């Protein structure tokens, strides 16, 4: 199996498990779907941080670890937006936080990720 096929398979399984988990949680609880999705985003953020500081390839290379952490930074804002958007009284604040999260992602996080990945590529090409 090629690397691309493994990546597609893992994304497919991850999306399927997430949808199934949300539907099961929705059926077993009386919580709004956005609360469940926000909780899932917080869980994914914590998991990504744990991976960033525990996986040997990420721990060894500072630029790669920083890119991985930068990738995860928008998840807490998206979770906050989901929590606020779950109820009518705070829906407008949820939308504002969502717009802010998108602005932060495209103006701060993507350039930071690109810079860190470029540093990583330069470092690996210099070592070879």
Indicate if 16 and 76 belong to the same structural domain: no
| pLDDT at 122 > cutoff 80 | yes
Q: Give the other-Cβ count within 10 Å of 55's Cβ.
A: 13
Per-residue pLDDT tens for 34-45? 888 898 888 888
> Whole-structure pTM over 0.85, yes or no?
no
Indicate if 21 and 77 belong to the same structural domain: no
Per-residue pLDDT tens for 10-26? 778 878 887 888 888 88
Indicate if 17 and 47 belong to the same structural domain: no
Identify the domain containing residue 22 by its residue range.
1-30
Indicate if 55 and 80 belong to the same structural domain: yes
Per-residue pLDDT band at 126 (split at 50, 70, 90): confident
Q: What share of the chain is helix, strand, coil (3-state, %, to 5)?
A: 90, 0, 10
Q: Could you give the number of structural domains in the chain? A: 2
**C-alpha span between 100 and 92 (Å, rounded):** 12
Find the helix packing angle between 110-127 and 62-72, rounded to 10°.
160
Q: What is the mean pLDDT of the chain?
A: 84
């Amino acid at each position: 199996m090629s690397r691309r096929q493994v990546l597609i398979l893992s994304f497919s399984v991850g999306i399927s498990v997430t949808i199934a988990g949300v539907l099961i949680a929705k059926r077993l609880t009386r919580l709004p779907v956005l609360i469940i999705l926000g909780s899932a985003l917080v869980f994914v953020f914590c998991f990504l941080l744990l991976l960033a500081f525990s996986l040997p390839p990420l721990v060894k290379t500072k630029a790669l670890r920083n890119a991985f952490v930068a990738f995860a930074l928008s998840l807490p804002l998206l979770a906050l937006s989901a929590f606020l958007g779950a109820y009518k009284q705070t829906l407008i604040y949820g939308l504002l936080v969502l717009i802010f999260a998108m602005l932060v992602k495209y103006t701060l996080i993507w350039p930071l990720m690109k810079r860190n990945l470029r540093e990583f590529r330069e470092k690996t090409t210099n070592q070879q």
